[in-house]
Structure 1
Amino acid sequence: MRTLFKLILTLFVIAAIVLGAYYAYTRILKPNRIPHTPPSPAEKAQLIQQKQHARYLLGSNTNEIREDNASIPFLDLFKSSIPFPDTHPWLSSKDVIYDAHGWPTDLKGGVAGTKFLNRLPEGTVANGQYTVLYDGEGELQYGNDAKLVKTSNGKHIISIQAGKDKILNASVIIRKTNLANPLRNIRILPSGGICQGNPYQHVNNASKCQTPYLAFENNYQAILFNPDYLNFMKDFRLIRFMNMAGMTRNPINQWEDRNRPEKSTWAGKEGTRGTPVEVMVSLANQLKADAWFSMPYQASNDYIKQFAEYTAKHLNPSLKVYIEYSNEVWNNIFIHRRYTINQGIAQKLDQHPETAGIKFYAKRSTETFKLWENAFNSKERLVRVLSGWSANHRLTSQLLSYNGTHKHVDVFAVAPYFYASLESMREAKNVDDIFEEITDNSSRYGLPAIIKQIKKQVAITEEFGVELVAYEGGQHLVDWETRTAEQHPNPLLYAANRDKRMGAAYSEYLTAWNKAGGKSFVHFSAPRIYSWYGSWGAKEFVTQKRSKAPKYDALLRYIDK
């Protein structure tokens, strides 16, 4: 009996040792399952001649379409309003019936309401009068900082004035609608207009123009974009539409399910919101900026084909398209990550989950590029993007090595954010502590460490004959475990972003990026309010003065320099 016990114990110890060794090998040593296989110098020289190149210094990411988007991209404020069904139970009734475009056709004794401005700093849009146009018959009621001034058939004049809190909130409620002719097609337009040929400046009346005056009320169908938004975006010659398109966590598969221009609002919950391709292409054309599109993670071949064909037909022929499959598929916070792993395993690309996901991402990216190449009948206007994790240099090698993926890629994109550790942010007593951390040579996340990451990424991508670009970048000061704007350390993080030293940090950062060999840098992001979930905006709101926005000032100085 004692001998049997010793035998069992010995087997148990051996099993434990084997399992421990396996765990150490797979989890700690992490063997490379995709060998580093760059092309030979001769092969690389030949490949480089066939590739397209990034051509602009600086680009901008767009924002999600929401009622609290401080960029205010559209002239018609209603296009960024919350969809009526999404405001139940606090503003819309439960049993309201809606049409295919999201307009209520039968209130069922209730109401349908929405907010079209929310938590925005005073000055984001001008205080003053706005024109509300609508079709059909019914009764509208305005709330928060919006007040009715004058009514006529199919048209209201309202006043929007920020209150004592200097924060803009505005809502509208449909209280009655005619079942035979429902109230619909609400448009909320600022007063004034633009001078023909100058879409970047809002003027109050025709006396300001030497060219024909185009009043917003009469020309809103042609003037899609807010002049203040165009004025901000015009300096960035590459626009990444990932957020504006609503691509993040969007499960869309079929082209017929896409958002269309006639939809009541392009805002909404994650996975349903998104600006139509028609509008995004129009924006790129108006800005004369190259367009960067990210395809949804479950998009069918037909969806990608139709998207590409529309772009090929309607985008200005002088402009290029950066094309990317999904976004950050390496990042565990996104469902895209799990999807690529599942697909990689299902297609028997690898038994190891992480490696299967890497292989599927590379494979699906190549398939996506080919669909776009077919739509454009060439590769000349396409910049094919494969993306990775700035801190993970081996991932870069694996993605470019697998099955010769580098042959089909023009640029490799990373997001080299700089920031401070959670521990240091929580221990910080003032803004000086924040800047001390992000400039500390011993910090894993500060500027010196990120600059080293950039240099390593450039070295790897150069081996494969592809350029390094940044799909996002800038500061990343955020404590995700906080939940209120005033919770520590958030006020210190906002103050750091408003400090002139942040502008100096951006200048050092961008100069180092360029010196290391990085190409186009797409900053994150267009104007956004600062809150517990980050201080991402180059400005806090679209009309903020350059002198009050040190990050924006640094971006423009980088372009000028």
Structure 2
Amino acid sequence: MRKRFFGGSRVFASILLLAGSSAAGNSYALYNTSSPLGTNTNEVLEYDSSVPFLDLFKASLPFREGAPFLTKGKITYDRYGWPTSISPGGIVGTRVISKLHKDAIPRGHYTVLYEGQGKLEYGLDAKLVQHQSGRDVIYIDPGKDNLYNVKLTIKSTQQGNHLRNIRILPEGGICASNPFDRVAGATQCRKNDYLDFARNYKKIIFNPDYLKFMRDYKVIRFMNMSGITRNPIQHWADRPHVDNATWGGVEGVRGAPVEIMVELANRLHTDAWFNVPHAANNDYVRRFAYYVKQNLNPGLKVYIEYSNETWNGIFTQHAYMKQGSKRLGFTDEAVPGTKFYSKRSVEIFKIWEQVFGGNQRLIRTMAGLTGTSKLTEAMLKFQDAYKHVDAFAVAPYVFGETKALRSARSVAQVFQIMQDKRYGHSLPRVLEAVRKQSAMASKYGVDLIAYEGGQHLIDMKTKKEMQHPNPLFYKANRHPQMGTIYKKLLLGWKQAGGKMFTHFSSPRTYNRFGSKGVKEYITQPDNQAPKQMAIKGFIKSHPCWWQGCRDTSVRRTQKPQALTTAELSRKSGERPQPLPNSAEEQAARNRQAAQ
């Protein structure tokens, strides 16, 4: 009999003790014990309305990406991305926050801590109210548009003691026994239980509002947070580092360190879903696996997936798969690159098995297109790959048909199209495809899970936020009927034989690129977010139904220790290489590493 995952007992987020306090009486203690759902993280960006990190600077735009408008002149940088010198007349700038909803973060005073000598300036919705060496206080207030926009500029920096390690931290804190709720001060906590944000940011790390949202899920898929999409990274030394100035930036640059992702999973006691970058070499894969084995709580499972949507032609990883198949002489592929993807997936799974000493904690995951079970079979069948796979993942997205949606003139028509079986991506047709995928997965003895899923109202040909049909899509996502769609999708998934469903995605702002967030910002009340209401209702009404899923015991005496960013930095080992100053320098570095 093939192994089935989700066995073993869990330690809950409520017994994560940031400062040694007991939390056994908290009402959220058993939230993710029997949850049948997971969630996808968002990209680390200055406009991510899920706001995962307490230190706002960690999601800011890298200084070098501020050119030519925010950063000007000849600038040199240290290995972590802090400017070490600025040419005469030059400046170095970044966007710390961009177009965040007025309630996504608290308005008020923020403490800015920094090291080194130089001159800092704050702009847009941030005003300096107090200054002393190494510590500023700014006031952040949304503009007339009810959005937050904050920029920070380094006007000058002293060579040899350059400005660095900038942190931007809110007022207040948390009670150590409850990391999910902000409090104004120590009087709202038990004695010796208060942790002030500005003094304890290294230990707290995560935005309490973010933890509160994420705690309902049994698994977190870190694909976006890790920044693997269109990322050509090959070598472990080039990975994101805990001490980097920021973890934000453009595709191929941004990404949170694995140390941070493992720490988040440990604190919430959620299983972790990791995606291996498409060009990562075997040494990268092995070191990745080793860090996870050594540092992820031993009661947690690890989903391991090679890249993301390698069949999707909009991503560079698809071209990489095609080249791989061509290089190895693979032909007769349902989708170009399929055989290389299958082969490389198995190679990666075997490395993780070697590091973990078996596959008991691993959910070795392949992924494909929801609408074609033939592609699923091609991946699983090639060189008997299914013998090394535990789960096959699809993305059940519902929207109907794009051309029909362009003709819609009301929200009612949008919902009609989403449920009209004439359209290939309508709810009934998607569930029909899920049933076929379930049968194919059963044929090869693997579980059917969802790596993403939900509504997918988007028209990529639009160029402006308010261009038709985008406003109808926003309204539809805010309408109670969308909650009904989600309930039907999730129930249909269960009835078709699907197991873990990892929805897409965490809170994010609606725009012309989609209305993907289950909420529009992290603190949006659930009763204003129909998708969120449907998801939480499903978790409560449909505890996970497959064998080995539910936890049968709770080891309340096992208390995972929260690590500080300093401790995580030391765990990461070697320092990152200095940032390349050009594409030519990066290419030369890659050639040298390959020798």
- The answer to whether the superposition gives a TM-score over 0.5 is yes
> For each residue in 1:151-207, what CA deviation from the matched residue of structure 2 results, as whole angstroms up to 9, or x when unmatched?
111101101101111011111101121113111110000111110121111111111
Alpha carbons of structure 1 residues 191 and 155: separation in structure 2 relative to 1, 3 Å: same
Distance in 2 of aligned mates of 1:289 and 1:501: 30
What letter matches 1:92 in structure 2?
T
Relative to the length of structure 2, the TM-score reads: 0.85
Q: Check the 8 A contact 1:53/1:411 in 2, yes or no.
A: no
Question: Which of residues 505, 516, 520 in structure 2 aligns to 1:525?
Answer: 505
Q: Any residues of structure 2 matched to 1:522-561 within 5 Å, and which?
A: 522-561=502-541
Q: Any residues of structure 2 matched to 1:454-465 within 5 Å, and which?
A: 454-465=434-445
Question: Which residue in the other structure is 2:227 paired with?
Answer: 246
Question: Which residue in the other structure is 1:314 paired with?
Answer: 295
Question: Which residue in the other structure is 1:341 paired with?
Answer: 322
Aligned-pair CA distance for 1:392: 1.2
What letter matches 2:454 in structure 1?
G
Question: Which of residues 36, 55, 65 in structure 1 aligns to 2:44?
Answer: 65
Question: Which residue in the other structure is 1:135 paired with?
Answer: 115
Question: Which of residues 166, 171, 195 in structure 2 aligns to 1:214?
Answer: 195
Distance in 1 of aligned mates of 2:477 and 2:421: 20
**Is residue 2:304 matched to residue 1:327?**
no
Distance in 2 of aligned mates of 1:465 and 1:381: 18
Aligned-pair CA distance for 1:52: 3.6
Distance in 1 of aligned mates of 2:502 and 2:372: 20
What letter matches 1:88 in structure 2?
A
What letter matches 2:49 in structure 1?
A
Distance in 2 of aligned mates of 1:201 and 1:107: 41
Distance in 2 of aligned mates of 1:159 and 1:411: 49
Question: Which of residues 242, 256, 273 in structure 1 aligns to 2:254?
Answer: 273
Distance in 2 of aligned mates of 1:136 and 1:535: 42
More helix by share: 1
What letter matches 1:223 in structure 2?
I
Q: Which runs of 5+ in 2 are unaligned?
A: 8-33, 542-595
Q: Any residues of structure 2 matched to 1:5-154 within 5 Å, and which?
A: 46=1, 48=2, 50-52=3-5, 56-109=35-88, 110-154=90-134
> For each residue in 1:484-529, what CA deviation from the matched residue of structure 2 results, as whole angstroms up to 9, or x when unmatched?
1111111100000000000011011101101111000000000100
What letter matches 2:315 in structure 1?
F
Distance in 1 of aligned mates of 2:424 and 2:483: 21
Q: Any residues of structure 2 matched to 1:364-403 within 5 Å, and which?
A: 364-403=344-383
What letter matches 1:100 in structure 2?
R
Q: Any residues of structure 2 matched to 1:171-186 within 5 Å, and which?
A: 171-186=151-166
Question: Which residue in the other structure is 2:496 paired with?
Answer: 516
Distance in 1 of aligned mates of 2:511 and 2:335: 36
Q: Check the 8 A contact 1:58/1:559 in 2, yes or no.
A: yes
Aligned-pair CA distance for 1:332: 1.0
> For each residue in 1:333-354, what CA deviation from the matched residue of structure 2 results, as whole angstroms up to 9, or x when unmatched?
1111111111112122x23465
What letter matches 1:287 in structure 2?
L
What letter matches 2:81 in structure 1?
G
Distance in 1 of aligned mates of 2:340 and 2:376: 14
Distance in 1 of aligned mates of 2:44 and 2:323: 30
Q: Check the 8 A contact 1:323/1:383 in 2, yes or no.
A: yes
Question: Which of residues 378, 391, 396 in structure 2 aligns to 1:411?
Answer: 391
Alpha carbons of structure 1 residues 455 and 353: separation in structure 2 relative to 1, 3 Å: closer
Percent identical residues: 47
Q: Any residues of structure 2 matched to 1:231-310 within 5 Å, and which?
A: 231-310=212-291
Alpha carbons of structure 1 residues 512 and 76: separation in structure 2 relative to 1, 3 Å: same
Aligned-pair CA distance for 1:440: 1.3
Aligned-pair CA distance for 1:540: 0.4
> For each residue in 1:108-145, what CA deviation from the matched residue of structure 2 results, as whole angstroms up to 9, or x when unmatched?
12111101110111110011110000001111111111
Q: Check the 8 A contact 1:341/1:353 in 2, yes or no.
A: no
Question: Which of residues 414, 420, 431 in structure 2 aligns to 1:434?
Answer: 414
**Is residue 2:127 matched to residue 1:156?**
no
What letter matches 2:164 in structure 1?
R
Q: Check the 8 A contact 2:400/2:427 in 1, yes or no.
A: no
Distance in 1 of aligned mates of 2:186 and 2:463: 47
Distance in 1 of aligned mates of 2:183 and 2:340: 51
Task: Point out which structure has higher relative CO (alpha carbons under 8 A, 6+ apart).
Answer: 2
> For each residue in 1:193-227, what CA deviation from the matched residue of structure 2 results, as whole angstroms up to 9, or x when unmatched?
11012111111111110151100111111111000
Distance in 2 of aligned mates of 1:321 and 1:135: 38
Runs of 4+ in structure 1 over 4 Å off: 53-56, 352-356
Count of residue pairs the alignment pairs up: 513
